[in-house]
Chain A
Amino acid sequence: MTIMGILDKKLSLRDRNKMLIGVWEDEDHLMSGATELAHAGVHIHDIYTPYPVHGLDRVIGARRSKLARIAFFCAITGLTLMTTMIWYMYVHDWPMNIGNKPVRFTPSWAPVMFEGTVLCTAFGMSFFFFWRNRLVHGIKNELLDIRQTDDRMVVAIETVNGMDEKAVLDIMKKHGAVEVREFHNGVQTVL
């Protein structure tokens, strides 16, 4: 198993329990469907849409992205890294006399510290963002519907014990789902 595979294990759909899949073709019906599902207390695992649908995150009660926190820690890492680096190079290992300026904590450190912070933050955020969205090289993407990156919207609901599956399917159909399926052990069955 590759490193990416290990990292991906938690996000992968492969080992999920049974899931119910609803497929929509327009966001208005998707929105009303998702709203009613959420009101009915159904836990929506995720919704896959080809473009951002405003307000969907609030409807399904998505938690706030951790990207900001990641950015902060990447920034701290970058700042520490660059401060240490410039201290080691410029103060400890090989101090240089440039224009007779002092070497310790001078304004000339600021650009290095700033750029290092920005660099680490940018790369760190990009990596974690792409990894979380399963867009990193080395991850095999599992599409629940081949058209979910094109013109279809897919709602994935994780079934739990005691869930009224019939009711869930009825809600999805009522709100104009063009297709409802069951997902089990990597195999989808149209219901």
Chain B
Amino acid sequence: MGHGHHHVEVKQEQFVFSPKAKRFSIILMVLGLVFVGLGIANLGGHDNKHEAKTETAAHGEHAVAGHEAEGHHAAAHEEHGNVPNEAFGPRMEFHPLDKPANTRIWANFMIVGYFFLMISLVSLMWYAIQYVANAGWSVGIKRVPEAIMTFIPVPFVILMIGLLMGKNDIYHWAHYEHLGLKPGEAGYDAILAGKSGFLNSTMLFAFPSVLVVIWYLLMRKLRALSAAEDNGTKGDVSFFRASTKFSAAFAVIFGFTVSVIAWLLIMSVDAHWYSTIFGFYNFVTHWVTMITIMAFIVAYIKKEGYLGFVTNEHMHDLGKFMFAFTVFWAYLWLSQYLLIWYAQIPEEMAYYQIRFENYKFNFLLNFAMCFCIPFLGLLMRSAKRNRYVLAIIGSIMILGHYHDVWLMVFPGVFGSGMQFGFLELGMFLLVAGIFVYWVFTALTKRGLVAINHPYLEESVHHDVGV
């Protein structure tokens, strides 16, 4: 009450990575490792080859087989497999591929790496947007995205391990490239051949690497400017101006390249399929997750007694962000689905057919976790201002969006039968533990308050009203 007007003295604060938080991150990692171990133990042995590679068409035929236990796959495959569906035409012809059991491990590396890489990148995007949009309210919490964005290299390495080890089994275009078929030969695929300028192994490694270097350098530059501002004098806006320029540069570069990365890494799992909204949909999935993670970290450091001037007003705005982008996620989710549903073009339907027939539970769970629950849960104002509600709904959102990314990849790679299991959860928890450790360590590297930021005062007085 009445905190709005009088002057608040803001002092620099130093965050300490408490032993309790350290223990939490290590518990996450250990739990993750245990689950990963359980998952690997349950892979089913290397002699038991998984379901053959699936192009959609064949999967329509043996959807029932997909629900049977893994062990029955071979039999089911013999019964139904390799039946080209006339409706899908020659382009969607079924290429049988034997997937080694460890494909699932590398696919998990790829998913968890991609997920956390995007989380780090969109936090940098969030940071950049605050500068470009001249936002004042967020200055008090700007150290949090500043810490999250330092995580870029770790998930990138994890992603690259996944791609290096599992490329040919994850991407059927990579396998196709490996076959090196000429026009007229049996199995020649004009679609994949036509896309080979973009979908090839050189691109797969070179393109993300080059971009990550550019993004990383811009991140370092922005962090350096922020540190220089801290060490400078109050009233010197030169660092702020320079940050705005580099932020604008990053926003433009990232805005265009993020879609391309999503096409190259995720959409190409179903290489015959394409959706123009896919890149943006990927962006929003990670964007809303990153805001949730940010809200969690802000709530935690506030609870530890730091940042007294960051009030419920700031939390409320983060809650509004979570809610708004939940709706926006659903908007894109439905837009992508609706047009494909209405147009009923076989090439487009392939993506949804496989998910709706073999992964119906996950498909519906995805919508419930990413939209229905957060929408109803965060609708009320009091919910957005309540730490506990944010914690519960936010946890569902983070897991839901991770599951969303999983659902973009796994049905495309395995076709059926592979559920979200111990391995998936374990990989997520393991990297989440590393993430917590890394981000909290990054938070200790500099003062918690952007003490010389020209808009600090505005953030201190931020008030969304009664």
Contacts and interface: CB of A to CB of B under 8 A. Distances in A.
Nearest to A68: B381
B392 interface: no
Contacts, number: 43
B334 A58 contact: no
A55 interface: yes
Interface in B1-23: 1-5
A110 B1 contact: no
Contact of B466 (A65, A106, A108, A110): A65
Given A35-B2, A55-B4, A62 B342 contact: no
Nearest to A65: B466
A106 B342 CA distance: 10
B42 interface: no
A59 interface: yes
A108 B344 CA distance: 13
A99 B466 contact: no
24 contacts: A31-B5, A54-B4, A54-B5, A54-B463, A55-B2, A55-B4, A55-B5, A55-B463, A57-B465, A57-B466, A58-B4, A64-B466, A65-B465, A98-B342, A101-B341, A101-B342, A106-B341, A107-B334, A107-B337, A107-B338, A107-B342, A108-B342, A110-B334, A111-B338
Contacts of B286: none
B2 A108 contact: no
A116 to B, nearest CB: 15
A63 interface: yes
Contacts of B466: 57-58, 62-65
Interface string A75-116: 000000000000000000000001101000011101100000
B314 to A, nearest CB: 14
B2 A58 contact: yes
Interface string A32-52: 000100000000000000000
Contacts of A59: 2
Given A98-B342, A107-B341, 8 more contacts: A54-B461, A58-B466, A59-B2, A99-B343, A101-B342, A107-B337, A107-B342, A108-B341
Q: Which of A55, A62, A99 has the most CB of B within 10 A?
A: A55
A55 B6 CA distance: 10
Q: Which bucket holds chain A's interface residue count?
A: 20 to 34
Nearest to B1: A58
Contacts of A108: 338, 341-342
B463 to A, nearest CB: 5
A101 B334 CA distance: 17
A57 B464 CA distance: 11
A8 B354 CA distance: 59
A70 B3 CA distance: 28
Interface of B: 1-5, 334, 337-338, 341-344, 381, 461, 463, 465-466
Q: Which of B2, B5, B461, B463 has the most CB of A within 10 A?
A: B5
Nearest to B339: A107
A109 to B, nearest CB: 10
Contacts of A107: 334, 337-338, 341-342
A31 B337 CA distance: 53
A35 B461 CA distance: 17
B86 to A, nearest CB: 18
Contacts of B342: 98-99, 101, 107-108
A55 B464 CA distance: 9
B333 to A, nearest CB: 11
A25 to B, nearest CB: 17
Contacts of A55: 2-5, 463
A108 B340 CA distance: 11
Contacts of B461: 54
B348 to A, nearest CB: 13
Contacts of B3: 55
B339 to A, nearest CB: 10
A31 B3 CA distance: 12
A107 B341 CA distance: 8
Nearest to A101: B342
B338 to A, nearest CB: 5
Contacts of A98: 342
Nearest to A28: B5
B37 to A, nearest CB: 42
Contacts of A63: 466
A111 B334 CA distance: 9
A6 to B, nearest CB: 28
A57 B465 CA distance: 7
Contacts of B465: 57, 65
A64 B380 CA distance: 13
A106 B341 CA distance: 10
4 nearest A-B pairs in the assembled complex, by CB-CB distance: A55-B4, A55-B5, A54-B4, A57-B466
Nearest to B3: A55
Nearest to A59: B2
A98 B381 CA distance: 41
Contacts of B344: 99
Nearest to A52: B465
A129 to B, nearest CB: 14
A103 B5 CA distance: 57
A58 B3 CA distance: 9
Nearest to B465: A57
A55 B462 CA distance: 10
B400 to A, nearest CB: 20
A154 to B, nearest CB: 19
Contacts of A31: 5
A111 B343 CA distance: 16
Nearest to B380: A68
Contacts of B343: 99
Nearest to A53: B5
A63 B5 CA distance: 19
Nearest to A27: B5
